[in-house]
């Protein structure tokens, strides 16, 4: 296990300036020769894997649920900077029991010419790191001692730049046996800012002249998000074209691709001072005497900015005081940074308050977004079971959803006078589609809280979009919609 700086003594030695370039080249060549990278244009490797549900787990931070992937096979074509991984994925079993989860094909492709945010996973592999370092003209070398083991620490930067214009940095730790034992880098992330990624490679085995680690362990911001045991590996496979061809349903889908860009925000009036904002993930703008509260910031920065702009258009003389984050899953928290940049306080379930505060307060040198430019720190208030926002004009209740498998930090919002209930991820399915297992949990909480509502508003609008009522929601538990 790789320890933090606070727990281990590190000794760094800089090589003489005149010898650095030659030393770097020699170190890379020696490691490439030992690991069989010399002459390697592509590689395929296979085994069993597990992927942490990063950003979508019930508990948003440490202790992620994981999806197991049987027959995981990844092929990388270094000449195109492209990758294709397949397998059979089984989601985690629900804590509450019930039917076992169904397995489904896993198909993940990184296309040639894709952004570094997808590309980097190719170049942090042991073989990709060495090939990237060899092709770079900016590699540097240091010596670093960790737990009494001296590593040759090679650093290089790709030609692609971060959205902020800053260079990326990839660091590899080459051990005494001339194997790449660890690689780390930092990439932009809407919530974490400069997200630290580190991968440990252990117990190298020889597979017909190439070295591959028997175990790979990846961490993102300290959370273990991917583990693989490698049982076989081969360089320059003869059926490369077949291995790289994605399944038809996966064509055009890149690893780590974000949600589609939202359209222009529009709004509709639900009641006096209450507007439903559409055009992406649905938000509500709720007017109080001297301020406005926004429910749900959207899935990304563009959507967050659009929601802010539409709210200001609706209420030009009132400031936005609060934005309510329904839950911390990344596709619902990705729109929060522009709210933080405006000094707007986030209302968050107390189970995820510390996570959101620490994450949005991290350095953002790579992101180049509105929050990075503002240099503001987030203000986050936690909701423990219930919070009431009220003045002489309006009452808004926020409630924690108990016993929910989907997230332990879910909030729902209730306007008692207007009889409106606002939720996220408790969706009305399209005709013929199954009802989410979260729906009975929501209804149990509604009954526990005695929420009397007529209008049901969801972050994910039904397709086609239409007004929803209490009857639409309650019908789901009766097997009709």
- What pLDDT score does 129 carry? 98
Of 115, 125, 33, 145, which Cα lies nearest the Cα of 77? 125
Average of per-residue pLDDT values in the chain: 90
The residues facing 5 across adjacent strands are none
The residue ranking higher by pLDDT, 53 or 318, is: 318
Placement of tokens 């992937």 in the chain: 69
Identify the band that residue 6 occupies on the pLDDT scale cut at 50, 70 and 90: very low
- What pLDDT score does 272 carry? 97
The residues facing 300 across adjacent strands are none
Structure tokens given for 104:
């489904």
Identify the band that residue 167 occupies on the pLDDT scale cut at 50, 70 and 90: very high
- What pLDDT score does 259 carry? 43
Residue 15 has pLDDT above 70, yes or no: no
The CATH H-level (homologous superfamily) assignment of domain 266-478 is: Ribonuclease Z/Hydroxyacylglutathione hydrolase-like (3.60.15.10)
In CATH, what number does 5-250 get? 2.50.20
Name the residue ranges covered by the structural domains of the chain.
5-250, 266-478
Count of residues making up the chain: 481
Q: How far is residue 21 CA from its own chain's centroid?
A: 37
- pTM for the model stands at 0.89
Cα–Cα distance for residue pair 421/419, rounded to 1 Å: 7
- What pLDDT score does 172 carry? 98
Give mean pLDDT, residues 81-96: 88
Give mean pLDDT, residues 295-313: 96
Identify the three-state secondary structure at position 332: helix
* CA within 13 Å, CB half, 179: 14
Residue pLDDT, tens place only, 432-454: 888 888 999 999 999 999 999 99
* Residue 70, H or E segment: strand 66-77
| % of the chain beyond a pLDDT of 90 | 81
Task: List the single range of 1-15, 161-175, 236-250, 291-305 with lowest mean pLDDT.
Answer: 1-15
Of 449, 457, 296, 321, which Cα lies nearest the Cα of 394? 321
Residue pLDDT, tens place only, 140-159: 999 999 999 999 999 999 99
Using only C-alpha atoms, what is the Rg of the chain? 25
């Amino acid at each position: 296990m790789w320890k933090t700086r606070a727990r281990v003594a590190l000794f760094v030695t800089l090589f003489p300036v005149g010898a650095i370039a030659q030393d770097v080249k020699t170190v890379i060549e020696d490691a490439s020769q030992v690991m069989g990278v010399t002459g390697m244009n592509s590689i395929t490797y296979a085994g069993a894997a597990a992927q942490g549900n990063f950003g979508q787990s019930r508990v948003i931070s440490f202790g992620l649920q994981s999806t197991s992937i049987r027959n995981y096979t990844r092929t990388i074509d270094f000449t195109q900077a492209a990758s294709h991984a397949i397998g059979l994925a089984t989601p985690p079993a629900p804590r509450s029991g019930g039917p076992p989860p169904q397995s489904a094909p896993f198909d993940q492709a990184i296309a040639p010419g894709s952004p570094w945010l997808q590309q980097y996973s190719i170049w942090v592999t042991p073989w990709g790191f060495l090939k990237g370092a060899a092709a770079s003209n900016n590699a540097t070398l240091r010596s670093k001692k960790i737990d009494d083991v001296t590593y040759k620490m090679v650093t290089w930067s790709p030609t692609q730049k971060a959205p902020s214009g800053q260079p990326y940095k990839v660091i590899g730790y080459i051990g005494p046996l001339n194997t790449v034992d660890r690689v780390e880098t930092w990439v932009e992330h809407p919530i974490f800012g400069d997200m630290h990624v580190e991968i440990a490679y252990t117990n190298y085995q020889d597979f017909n002249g190439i070295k591959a680690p028997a175990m790979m362990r990846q961490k993102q911001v300290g959370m273990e998000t991917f583990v693989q045991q490698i049982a076989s590996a081969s360089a320059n496979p003869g059926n490369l074209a077949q291995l790289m061809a994605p399944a038809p349903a996966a064509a055009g889908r890149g690893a780590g691709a974000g949600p589609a860009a939202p359209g222009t925000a529009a709004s509709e009036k639900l009641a006096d001072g209450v507007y439903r904002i559409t055009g992406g993930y649905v938000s509500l703008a709720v007017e109080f005497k001297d301020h406005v509260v926004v429910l749900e910031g959207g899935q990304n920065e563009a959507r967050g900015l659009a929601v802010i702009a539409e709210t200001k258009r609706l209420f030009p003389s009132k400031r936005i005081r609060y934005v309510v984050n329904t839950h911390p899953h990344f596709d619902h928290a990705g729109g929060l940074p522009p709210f933080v940049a405006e000094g707007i306080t986030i209302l968050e379930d107390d189970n995820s308050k510390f996570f959101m505060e620490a994450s949005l307060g991290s350095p953002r040198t790579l992101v180049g977004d509105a929050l990075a430019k503002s240099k503001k720190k987030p203000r986050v208030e936690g909701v423990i079971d219930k919070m009431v926002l009220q003045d002489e004009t309006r009452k808004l209740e926020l409630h924690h959803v108990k016993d929910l498998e989907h997230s332990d930090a879910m909030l729902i919002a209730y306007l008692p006078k207007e009889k409106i209930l606002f939720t996220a991820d408790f969706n009305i399915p399209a005709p013929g589609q199954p009802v989410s297992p979260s729906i009975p949990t929501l209804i149990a909480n509604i009954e526990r809280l005695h929420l009397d509502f007529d209008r049901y508003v969801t972050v994910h609008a039904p397709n086609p979009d239409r007004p929803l009522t209490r009857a639409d929601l309650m019908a789901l538990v009766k097997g009709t919609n």
